[in-house]
Structure 1
């Protein structure tokens, strides 16, 4: 009988590594003991890692789409990469102009190309810029997000409709907030309430998460929003991401079984490596044990993870 918790860093030592208050937040929210809290802390790290991959695709696709279409817009359809921000500088918000200037100021003796400036802007710059474009340049927004419902010819609701436009942009702004939480090592599972600030007073769209069930429900909503956002930018990219092995792994992590594996400290690799014959003979036991296991042959070792 394997003691799964003994394969983890001792909880007391782990508290000293990540701080007791940080680990206590897991114990209180998930209502678990120390060992389970350590497992859930590692679960959050795994979720953050996979979510970062998703957000990197979103960022690249969004920023490149904005850069391309704004370049075409400013150059009259001639060039897909120009310093378009200079052409609309008088209309851009001061914060956007300031962020662009900061990038330029870091290389005062070099004339940065448009692509170089774009590559050095932070993730948060783009959703905010999209909000400005959607309001000030609705036709450009429809080209940046060609598969979005608001971009479809003859759509009853389009980018000229303020409430619909605000709802569409809010999705991208939420991803910026998720990216910030990952960067600052904050728990992704602790969701704040989502408010619709269009009406006065603001109305609540989704309540804050309070336990495992509501956390997984909010993650389900987040993943649905991600799929919609990526599809609006590029249906082909979404199809590729949706069938990737790491997206499937994230879906598993965000399932009750995925959470339970880490809560029960079964995410650590079983210490015994199996060859092909032993793996075949013990397959049912491996699946029932629900732990990663090392596989070994003459070429080396790999890991099998039940999902």
Structure 2
């Protein structure tokens, strides 16, 4: 990377954003600084795919469970999909989030949209942040308690704890809430293009309440190795939640390219490859085939070319 290239990057990415990388990673060369930035982009993209799988599965499980429980003669829809959200005592913000989807505002008043959106469409348009807050709903509009002890096992059918007695306890609901919030926090960082490696202190998985402060377990990561350990923990916990929701979705993810790529990115070899991005090896298809054994032994990342154009990239996953 030439000096003029870096000056342009500073303007395009912004100096304050690059400064956080400079301060934490202390790269020796400007190419390394940009390599760390590209590495963060890559892990963010991979994490976002996984979080998307979790988000879709979570909302569908909650929608199905709540639809089944609150189905009644006044419901619009079926036992599998209906307007359960109209029968719960939602907080004002959650009610407004749904209203903005189902209605339009004119002359200071809300009017139903036509044609009416299906219940599945309403659910699909609610953002991730809506769903953890669902656990805060204590009563329906008839002032009857929401039976979370019975509902959560249907949402998390593969969790080791399946009893109503376990899930009706607030402390156990708080553990689940903390896991959902952790994933939501990562999702927001990615959506706002914030460095995903920049993590705060690690606290026990519970919820802050008036008589309960989560214990501090670890300080913020202070070097590359601690960053990798923390990100692997987040990856493991996100997969664990997905497994509680759906074993088939977890198995599908763990067979995917994204899973293998993210594991590689969260390794020292993955980082080193991005730091050396500007000097990446290039081989033609025929040369790559002849050199494959050596490349695998040396754990090299190689751009594969055809007629001078890059047509693929080989990278080691372990």
Answer whether TM exceeds 0.5 for this pair: yes
List alignment gaps of at least 5 residues for structure 1: none
- Which of 119-128 and 71-80 deviates more? 71-80
Among residues 95, 118, 125, which one is paired with 1:113 in the alignment? Answer: 118
Does 2:189 correspond to 1:181? yes
Flag the 1:274–1:240 CA change in 2: closer, same or farther, 3 A.
same
After superposition, the Cα gap between the structure-2 partners of 1:205 and 1:99, relative to the gap in structure 1 and judged at 3 Å, is: farther
What TM-score do you get using the length of structure 2 for normalisation?
Answer: 0.83
Residues 66-215 of structure 1 correspond to what in structure 2 (within 5 A)?
Answer: 66-75=62-71, 79-88=79-88, 91-106=89-104, 108-110=112-114, 111-132=116-137, 136-138=146-148, 139-150=150-161, 152-153=162-163, 158-195=166-203, 196=206, 197-198=208-209, 199-215=211-227
Q: 1:136 to 1:203 in 2, by over 3 A?
A: farther
Q: Sort the Cα spacing of 1:72 and 1:45 in 2 relative to 1 into closer, same or farther, 3 A.
A: same
Q: Distance in 2 between matches of 1:133 and 1:9?
A: 59
Tell me the alpha carbon deviations over residues 142-199 of structure 1, each in whole angstroms, 9 at most, x when there is no partner: 111111123x248xx7212222221122111111111111110000000112444255
Q: Which residue of 2 aligns with 1:279?
A: 288
The question of whether the paired residues in 1 share the 8 Å contact of 2:280 and 2:302 is answered with yes
Q: Quick one: distance in 2 between partners of 1:136 and 1:120? A: 24
Deviation at 1:102, TM superposition (A): 1.6
Q: Which runs of 5+ in 2 are unaligned?
A: 105-110, 140-144
Q: 2:315 matched to which residue of 1?
A: 305
Deviation at 1:239, TM superposition (A): 1.0
Q: How many residues align?
A: 292
Q: CA RMSD in A?
A: 2.7
TM-score if structure 1 supplies the norm length? Answer: 0.85
Q: CA deviation at 1:87?
A: 1.5
Contact (CA 8 Å) 1:286, 1:293: kept in 2 or not? no
